[in-house]
A and B are shown apart, each in its own frame.
Chain A
Amino acid sequence: MTCDEAHKLLHAYIDDELDVATALQIETHLPG
Chain B
Amino acid sequence: LSSHAAASKFESAVLEHLDAAHNLARWLTKNDQDAQDVVQESCMNALRSFDSFRGADFRAWFLTIVRNTSFTWLRRRKNSSGPASEQSLEASAEIAADCEVYDPQAIAARAADADLVRRAIAALPQVLRETLVLREMEGLSYKEIGKIAGAPIGTVMSRLARGRMQLQALLMEMDQPNAGKSVQEGTR
Real complex partners, A and B? yes
- Which residues of A approach B to under 8 Å, CB–CB? 8-12, 15, 17
A17 contacts B161, C-beta separation under 8 Å: no
* Complex CA–CA separation, A17 to B154 (angstroms): 11
Q: Decide yes or no whether B141 CB sits under 8 A from chain A.
A: yes
Q: Which residues of B contact A9 (CB under 8 A)?
A: 157
Residue of B nearest to A7 (CB): B161
- Which residues of B approach A to under 8 Å, CB–CB? 135, 141-142, 157-158, 160-161, 164
Is the contact region of chain A dominated by helix, strand, or loop, or is it mixed?
Answer: helix
* Complex CA–CA separation, A9 to B161 (angstroms): 9
A17 contacts B158, C-beta separation under 8 Å: no
Residue of B nearest to A11 (CB): B161
Q: Which residues of B contact A15 (CB under 8 A)?
A: 135, 142, 160
What are 18 A-B pairs at a CB distance below 8 A?
Answer: A8-B157, A8-B158, A8-B161, A9-B157, A10-B161, A11-B157, A11-B160, A11-B161, A11-B164, A12-B142, A12-B157, A12-B160, A15-B135, A15-B142, A15-B160, A17-B141, A17-B142, A17-B157
- Smallest CB–CB gap between B139 and chain A, Å? 10
Which A-B residue pairs are the 7 nearest by beta carbons?
Answer: A11-B161, A17-B142, A12-B157, A11-B160, A11-B157, A11-B164, A12-B142
